[in-house]
Structure 1
């Protein structure tokens, strides 16, 4: 008896339950986005200082969890339109992260909703992706009950998918925030290897550690007139030799950065070197030089040279 030959049917691959996606951390300057990123990935990636606008770049940090991979994007603080080329660039970087993200988290301070917070919210209004609100620095309140009227006022006027009370400094509430992120990410395989923390180079991290000390040790507006460029990055046995140029905008600023007898520059270099040795786990020789480029922060060409445009 003839039998009809059956055609084998292709077996569909099982769908992975792993999740992976980009999460943008946005907010006005100085609400704690960089501290939050560092806590979430368990690594001191973004530089931190008490001064606003410390973050000038999009910093990508990777967190691998059992349910998937979360790729955080720390962004410069969105602020009211500035006149300088640098300020316009910072806002562009933040907006680009919003356009890329699968989930957006607006970070604000407990008990504060300022005009700049409203500006950030308006930038999110047309985004058709999950929008979460992280109310940071809740450890500054004696009781969570004090926050209830503030939360009611903010959520009554603004639409978010979920609200999270956190303290980035202490790590409070971050487990719940992370679970809220993971369930909203698309099902996808990891984009990065398990041992990767960021897509930034060691040269970039070295420049940022020097700039962090400029933000911390220089007074008033001077840190905003400085940037750092790595000219030498060379391994010599167990020693890493780094040569960095601190660029300022005026001759008078150069004298301040160097200080009497070179003492200020020495303090900056020592603090940055110790940070780099801890970060890179190797002995570091750090040579610092100070040079002048008039009004570099106003020039698109200079911003490109110093790595502020991708």
Structure 2
């Protein structure tokens, strides 16, 4: 078979259950942080576009939110965001954590992938956690559920098989143009990156106390005359008790999150950052259309 030497490019959606490591994998593949990571399920709420550039190929990744049955307008917007992503891509990468049992969530996602006209690659992550015999059993189990174009076991933590994954992805891409310049890693607006970084730092510190109740919106984002960047974010929570948790004793939690977010944003934006954080209680904000619009979600009737 003659190797095709033409330039290959296309869009690949990362899909999977909440908290299987899609954002971790995307960051590992790109070598830079474009998607926030925490131990909380459903950390990613918007589609994050990450651009991978290699010899004779460019892959544009959409890191979709973890799929689950929606319990609010926010949940429905998140679900629809993933459905929309599947209509835009040349390839689907279905990520499953090797240490999770195959469940209803996996079957639900696979049902959404049925009759798609693009290849679906199964990626089994965290292979560093189990012996090879168990891995082979897992591969056989998933193979009975769906006719995958390819199956690639990987570990984002150790880097095992990441090169093989990229080679597999490139193999299924069509010949096409370079969509983004070589030095571009993401198409996310800087103000969106700012609010995602702030939300990550809060999620890390609140753990299970405020599971999905945090929404962050960048009210202001401007460059001052001295080159500093001023960012003001509103942090939405649903109850006064959650506001207390976010602020912490004598403001300690909010100050710590602000310090970490400021440090990371300075690195990402390449300039000193003045970060101003405000916490606002808005009961049932996940079902309020105007807040969802602020956070960048489309309304779905």
Match of 2:291 among 292, 299, 302: 302
Partner residue, 1:5: none
Please report how far the alpha carbon of residue 100 of structure 1 lies from its aligned counterpart in structure 2 after TM superposition.
0.8
Mark the structure with the bigger radius of gyration: 1
* Gapped regions of structure 1 (runs ≥ 5): 1-14
Match of 1:134 among 98, 119, 123: 123
1:1-310 aligned at under 5 Å gives the runs 17-79=6-68, 81-111=69-99, 112-141=101-130, 143-236=131-224, 237-309=226-298
Answer yes or no: is the 8 Å Cα contact 2:40–2:207 preserved in 1.
no
Q: Which 4+ runs in 1 deviate beyond 4 A?
A: none
Please report how far the alpha carbon of residue 170 of structure 1 lies from its aligned counterpart in structure 2 after TM superposition.
2.0
Answer yes or no: is the 8 Å Cα contact 2:50–2:61 preserved in 1.
yes
* Gapped regions of structure 2 (runs ≥ 5): none
Please report how far the alpha carbon of residue 196 of structure 1 lies from its aligned counterpart in structure 2 after TM superposition.
1.2
Cα 1:223–1:244 change in 2 (3 A) is farther
Q: TM-score under structure 2 normalisation?
A: 0.93
Please report how far the alpha carbon of residue 221 of structure 1 lies from its aligned counterpart in structure 2 after TM superposition.
4.9
Partner residue, 1:4: none
Please report how far the alpha carbon of residue 265 of structure 1 lies from its aligned counterpart in structure 2 after TM superposition.
1.2
Aligned-pair RMSD on alpha carbons?
1.6
Q: When the two structures are aligned, how many residues end up with a matched partner?
A: 294
Greater Cα shift, 49-58 or 218-227 = 218-227
Residues 266-292 of structure 1, C-alpha deviations (whole Å, 9 max, x = no match): 111112112212222322221111112
Counterpart-to-counterpart distance in 2, 1:145 and 1:16: 37
Please report how far the alpha carbon of residue 186 of structure 1 lies from its aligned counterpart in structure 2 after TM superposition.
1.0
Please report how far the alpha carbon of residue 222 of structure 1 lies from its aligned counterpart in structure 2 after TM superposition.
1.3
Answer yes or no: is the 8 Å Cα contact 1:56–1:308 preserved in 2.
no
Please report how far the alpha carbon of residue 243 of structure 1 lies from its aligned counterpart in structure 2 after TM superposition.
1.4
3-state SS of 1:23 partner = strand
3-state SS of 1:77 partner = coil
